[in-house]
């Protein structure tokens, strides 16, 4: 099984994904890390030099490759759902969990981080609200499961996701 995490920047895809992969004893891939290895530079620099569309082309290629693996946990970038090809590939080839968060919550988490090029604007909270309004329907259309991430800690979220997968018969029930 490939388990994919989607959601807003700061929703916890990379953090929850890593812990979930340990729990499920599956390899972990973060598409942003794979992209950075391939580009040989931070995403932020590539965005500045080549623009968003060039980044989305590389992202689409990397997601297609990662979603064709045998079994793994896959953390995507927040904009992975923007392309129809990614939405279809992820929904058809993997089990997709949407880590849903409010714009205010993710703003609290990422406001001091300079590595997210889309949020380097005068009013990042307003930007996050706009991005959430645009993307929430796309996240929902791509996901098989939706998990609210506002309050729970990362280990609790891992438990919630495992429980959902067990209930859906995708993991064996606990002994
Ligand atoms: N459930 C949570 N509760 C508290 N902090 C969290 C939670 N999920 C993620 N974080 C923190 O928020 C920040 C962004 O998380 P990250 O995993 O990088 O998000 P994403 O990959 O979705 O952009 C990190 O500092 C992480 O430790
Ligand atoms: O929301 C986006 O469009 C992006 C989110 C980032 O990933 P995170 O969601 O892990 O921050 C990264 O892929 C890139 O900066 C673009
Ligand atoms: Mg991430």
Cβ-contact 95, 170 below 8 angstroms: yes
CA of 105 to the centre of ligand 1 (A): 10
The band of 174, judged by pLDDT with boundaries at 50, 70 and 90, is: confident
ipTM of predicted complex: 0.98
Q: Is 36 helix (H, G, I), strand (E, B) or coil?
A: helix
Quote the pTM value.
0.98
Of 53, 58, 19, nearest to 37 (Cα)? Answer: 58
What protein residues have CB closer than 5 angstroms to ion ligand 3? 13-14
50 within domain boundaries: yes
State the pLDDT at residue 158.
98
Asked, for residue 140, whether it belongs to a domain, the answer is yes
Residues forming beta bridges with residue 95, ordered by sequence position: 3
Domain span at residue 88 reads 2-167
Please indicate, yes or no, if residue 103 is contained in any of the structural domains. yes
**Structural domains in the chain (count):** 1
- Kindly tell me if the per-residue pLDDT of 162 is higher than 90: yes
The whole-angstrom separation of Cα 84 and Cα 139 is 11
6-59 confidence digits (pLDDT tens): 999 999 999 999 999 999 999 999 999 999 999 999 999 999 999 999 999 999
- The answer as to whether 172 is a domain residue is no
């Amino acid at each position: 099984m490939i388990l994919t995490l989607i959601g807003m920047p700061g929703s916890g895809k990379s953090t929850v994904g890593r812990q979930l992969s340990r729990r499920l004893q599956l390899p972990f891939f973060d598409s942003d890390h794979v992209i950075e290895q391939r580009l040989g530079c931070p995403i932020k620099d590539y965005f500045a030099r080549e623009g968003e569309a060039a980044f989305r082309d590389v992202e689409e290629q990397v997601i297609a490759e990662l979603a064709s693996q045998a079994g793994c946990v896959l953390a995507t970038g927040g904009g992975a759902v923007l392309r129809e090809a990614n939405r279809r590939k992820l929904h058809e080839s993997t089990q997709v969990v949407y880590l849903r968060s409010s714009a205010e919550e993710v703003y609290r988490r990422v406001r001091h981080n300079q590595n997210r090029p889309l949020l380097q604007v005068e009013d990042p909270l307003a930007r996050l609200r706009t991005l959430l309004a645009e993307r929430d329907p796309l996240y929902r259309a791509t996901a098989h499961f939706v998990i609210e991430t506002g309050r729970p800690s990362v280990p609790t979220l891992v438990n919630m996701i495992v429980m959902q997968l067990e209930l859906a018969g995708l993991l064996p029930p606990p002994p």
